Amino acid sequence: MRTHIGEVLALFREHRELSRTDVIDLSGLSRSTVNQRLAALEASGLIEQIGGGESTGGRPSSRFVFNADRARLLTADVGATGLVAAVCDLSGTPVRWVSRRVDVWEGPDAVLSVVDDAFDELLQGEDVWGVGIGVPGPVDFAAGEVVNPPIMTGWDRFDIRGWFARFGVPVMVENDANARAVAEAHQRHVDDLISLKVGTGIGSGLVFNGQIIRGGEGAAGDIGHTAAVASGDGEPLACRCGNAGCVEAYAGGWAILRDLAAAGVEAEHVSDVVALVRRGEGTAVRLVRQAGRVLGDAVADLVSILNPRTIVLSGQLAECEEVLLSGVRERVYQRSQPLATRHLSITVSELGEVAGVAGLALTTSERLLGTDDIDTLIDRLGVSDGLATG
Q: Which is nearer to Zn ion, 169 or 239 (CB)?
A: 239
The percent of the chain in helix, strand and coil, each rounded to the nearest 5, is: 45, 20, 35
Q: Which is nearer to Zn ion, 6 or 136 (CB)?
A: 136
Rounded Cα distance between 94 and 86, Å, is: 6
Is 239 a binder of Zn ion (CB under 5 A)?
yes
Interface residue with Zn ion among 243, 304, 347, 371 (CB under 5 A) is: 243
Interior CA angle at 366 toward 361 and 368, to 5°?
95
Q: Which is nearer to Zn ion, 126 or 156 (CB)?
A: 156
Contact 105, 153 (CB under 8 A): yes
Interface residue with Zn ion among 173, 246, 274, 284 (CB under 5 A) is: 246
Q: How far is the CB of 217 from Zn ion (least distance, A)?
A: 17
Q: Which stretch binds Zn ion (CB under 5 A): 42-50, 110-118, 123-131, 246-254?
A: 246-254
Is 228 a binder of Zn ion (CB under 5 A)?
no
Q: How far is the CB of 219 from Zn ion (least distance, A)?
A: 13
By CB under 5 A, the count of residues binding Zn ion is 5
Q: How many CB atoms lie within 10 A of CB 319?
A: 23
What is the 3-state secondary structure of 246-265? ECHHHHCHHHHHHHHHHCCC
Rounded Cα distance between 316 and 306, Å, is: 26
Contact 292, 325 (CB under 8 A): yes
H helical segments located in the chain = 5-15, 20-27, 31-44, 108-122, 160-163, 176-188, 248-251, 253-262, 270-279, 282-306, 322-335, 338-341, 355-369, 374-380
Is 348 a binder of Zn ion (CB under 5 A)?
no
Residues from 247 through 286 that contact Zn ion (CB under 5 A): none
Is 306 a binder of Zn ion (CB under 5 A)?
no
Is 225 a binder of Zn ion (CB under 5 A)?
yes
Q: How far is the CB of 225 from Zn ion (least distance, A)?
A: 4
Q: How far is the CB of 239 from Zn ion (least distance, A)?
A: 3
Q: Which is nearer to Zn ion, 108 or 201 (CB)?
A: 201
Q: Which is nearer to Zn ion, 225 or 331 (CB)?
A: 225
Q: How far is the CB of 298 from Zn ion (least distance, A)?
A: 12
Contacts of 216 (CB under 8 A, 6+ apart): none
Q: Which stretch binds Zn ion (CB under 5 A): 133-141, 197-205, 240-248, 258-266?
A: 240-248
Sign, CA dihedral 144-150-152-158, equals positive
Contact 367, 172 (CB under 8 A): yes
Instruction: Name the DSSP letter for residue 278.
Output: H
Q: How far is the CB of 126 from Zn ion (least distance, A)?
A: 41
Interface residue with Zn ion among 147, 213, 241, 265 (CB under 5 A) is: 241
Q: How far is the CB of 27 from Zn ion (least distance, A)?
A: 49
**Strand duo 310-314 + 345-348: pairing:** parallel
Q: Which is nearer to Zn ion, 243 or 307 (CB)?
A: 243
Q: Which is nearer to Zn ion, 235 or 372 (CB)?
A: 235
Q: List contacts with Zn ion (CB under 5 A).
A: 225, 239, 241, 243, 246
